[in-house]
């Protein structure tokens, strides 16, 4: 199941991303593989954020809103795309993930996103997230 979320706009983005929740077998599989969300630039559409979900029960109340740490992290990626461009984002993510590893502190995309998310959490999540 694919469902579009209509959440509070992110103040550090001029153009808001499309945010979708993917549940069902695909959401379950991605969650099992350890993914919470995924941000990808889509030609002619813009930045799309996918949140993977695996819980079919209580869907409306429990899964209609991503956890602030998930959303903030993905919105930082949307900001990276807006700042550096889709081509840089995709090629750098693929290269750094393949060469350095997803969790590397030198990953030029994941490391700053993790740091920004941790800093936001330390300060207390902003209301919009």
Chain residues in the site for Zn ion (CB under 5 A): 110, 113
Q: What is the DSSP string of 11-69?
A: TT-SSPPEEEEE-HHHHHHHHHTT-SEEEEEETTTEEEEEEE----TTHHHHHSS--HH
For Zn ion, the closer of residues 81 and 113 by Cβ is 113
Contact 49, 78 (CB under 8 A): yes
For Zn ion, the closer of residues 23 and 39 by Cβ is 39
Contact 106, 49 (CB under 8 A): no
For Zn ion, the closer of residues 16 and 97 by Cβ is 97
- For the bound state, the minimum distance from the C-beta of residue 39 to Zn ion, rounded and expressed in Å, comes to 7
- For the bound state, the minimum distance from the C-beta of residue 14 to Zn ion, rounded and expressed in Å, comes to 21
Phi and psi angles of residue 128, each rounded to the nearest 5 degrees, phi first: -70, -20
Residue with tokens 């991503």: 66
For Zn ion, the closer of residues 13 and 59 by Cβ is 13
């Amino acid at each position: 199941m694919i469902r579009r979320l209509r959440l509070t706009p992110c103040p550090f983005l001029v153009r808001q991303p499309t945010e979708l929740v993917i549940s069902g077998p695909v959401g379950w599989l991605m969650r099992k593989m350890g993914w919470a969300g995924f941000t990808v630039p889509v030609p002619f559409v813009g930045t799309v954020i996918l949140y993977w979900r695996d819980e079919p029960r209580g869907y409306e109340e429990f899964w209609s809103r991503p956890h602030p740490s998930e959303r903030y992290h993905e919105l930082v990626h949307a900001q990276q795309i807006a700042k550096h461009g889709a081509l840089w984002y995709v090629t750098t993510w693929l290269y750094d993930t393949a060469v350095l590893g997803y969790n590397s502190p030198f990953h030029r995309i994941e490391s700053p996103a993790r740091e920004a998310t941790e800093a936001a959490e330390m300060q207390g999540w902003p209301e919009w997230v």
